[in-house]
Amino acid sequence: MPELPEVETIVRDLRDKIAGQTITSVDLIRPSIWRSGPPRKKSLINTVINAVIRKGKNILIPLSNNFTLIFHLKMTGRLTVESKDAPIPKHTHLIFNFGDRQLRFNDVRRFGYADLAPSDKLAEIEYLKKIGPDPFELSRAMFIDLIRSKNRMIKPLLMDQSIIAGIGNIYSDEALFLAGIHPRRISSRIKIDKLEKLYNSTLRVLQNSIKSRGTSVSDYVDASGQKGTFQNSLRVYGREGEPCKKCRRKIKRETIGSRSAHFCPGRQRLN
């Protein structure tokens, strides 16, 4: 699933490619992809893309008619800008035309969605309202307070979108490895100096991945359809059984809740 760096990469790409452009027509190929039902084409055509914004893993696109388009890519969603002459792949559910270019929403597994809502009512939308702060908005003290105020295993806590937005399976594994914290440690009992490390490693791993245009381990591509390269820099995620890059012990994978955690048993101790 795309996490903060992948969604941020797409958002920046879309800003370059479609901000300021006018939607000339729309193809609502699969109406069920709209979370609140498909909008009337009239409410989209001839509107201008005012901005492209990320909120957690959501992509918000405010339009000039005071409505905002919202996308969530979930597992396999893609938002790409292509020439209208480029072949349209299977599972393309929605097309916005901008003259001779198109913004396409493609999703093989269809867990992703599109939505349209009045821009002044975004604060009332339940699934946006419950998104926690972005890690880049948190000071070190705020981050540490947030983590220590909960009594939960650190890995699922980091991935809880209502606590901190944008971190999923990949970056929680990577940040915990860099900070030397076992994924099952209980958040309230982790020492402050470890949490300071975790704050730094979380921001660093997210920033480095944005610089590498995200991690492509399965379906993720940017808005030009290109893969990211951060998969080459992963230290634990997806490396079960391979030697740790720091201590050579074998990386372990364990299931925590419904997700798998990758960690180094040498550097990340439970006690």
Which of the ranges 96-104, 124-132, 136-144, 247-255 carries the binding residues for Zn ion, by CB under 5 A?
Answer: 247-255
Strands (E), the chain: 25-27, 53-55, 58-62, 67-72, 77-83, 92-98, 101-107, 113-118, 252-256, 259-263
Pick from 40, 84, 191, 246: which binds Zn ion (CB under 5 A)?
246
> Which residue's C-beta sits nearest to Zn ion?
244
Whole-angstrom Cα distance, residue 221 to residue 76?
10
264 near Zn ion, rule: CB under 5 A? yes
Reply yes or no on whether 2 is catalytic.
yes
The catalytic residue among 8, 17, 39, 57 is 57
**Among 76-84, 163-171, 192-200, 239-247, the segment contacting Zn ion (CB under 5 A):** 239-247
- Nearest distance from C-beta of residue 176 to Zn ion, angstroms: 12
d(CA 246, CA 257): 27
CB of 84 or CB of 249, closer to Zn ion:
249
Query: Applying CB under 5 A, does 69 fall inside the site for Zn ion?
Result: no
Binding status of residue 247 toward Zn ion by CB under 5 A? yes
Q: How far is the CB of 262 from Zn ion (least distance, A)?
A: 11
For residue 247, give the nearest of 262, 268, 270, 271 by alpha carbon.
268
Q: Which is nearer to Zn ion, 42 or 246 (CB)?
A: 246
28 — alpha (psi -120 to 50), left (phi > 0) or beta?
Answer: beta
d(C-alpha 66, C-alpha 229), whole Å: 37
Is 3 noted as a catalytic residue in this protein? yes
Separation CA 193–CA 226 (nearest Å): 39
Q: Does residue 266 belong to the site contacting Zn ion (CB under 5 A)?
A: yes
User: Which stretch in 62-70, 184-192, 223-231, 244-252 sits in contact with Zn ion by CB under 5 A?
Assistant: 244-252
Q: Considering only 43-51, 139-147, 196-204, 240-248, which stretch makes contact with Zn ion by CB under 5 A?
A: 240-248
Q: Which of 244, 252, 261, 263 binds Zn ion (CB under 5 A)?
A: 244
Active-site residue, 250 included: no
CB of residue 204 to Zn ion, shortest distance in Å? 18
Cα of 52 vs its chain's centroid, Å: 14
Q: Phi and psi at residue 220, in whole multiples of 5°?
A: -60, 130
Q: Is 238 left (phi over 0), alpha (psi -120 to 50) or beta?
A: left
The nearer residue to Zn ion, 61 or 170, going by C-beta atoms, is: 170
- 191 touches Zn ion (CB under 5 A): no
**Dihedrals phi, psi of 132, to nearest 5 degrees:** -75, 180
CA gap 249, 253 in Å, rounded: 13
Contacting residues toward Zn ion, per CB under 5 A: 244, 246-247, 264, 266-267
